Amino acid sequence: MKISIPKTLYEKIKARIEGTDFDSVSEYVTYVVREVLANLEEEKDITLTKEEEDKVKERLKALGYID
């Protein structure tokens, strides 16, 4: 799979990664895109119903974690 980027950007990245642990422009671009996407990801589906949350709180109280 290939993705195009402007040649000037390619050259800029190539210069940027000289002397770093990145072996190629592809590796650097992959790194940056992963970082950006991870920051954009949204949390899904961990909200508890009030009943479920109360049940968890009861256990935490019984175990002495909360007052």
For 2-19, b/e burial (b = at least 16 CB within 10 A) is eeeeeeeeeeebeeebee
Sole binder of other proteins in the list 1, 6, 18, 42 (CB under 8 A)? 42
- Tokens 């954009």 sit at which residue? 40
Residue entry with tokens 């290939």: 2
16 interacts with other proteins by CB under 8 A: no
46 binds other proteins (CB under 8 A): yes
Binding site for other proteins (CB under 8 A): 21, 31-32, 34-35, 37-38, 41-46, 48, 53, 56-57, 59-60, 63-66
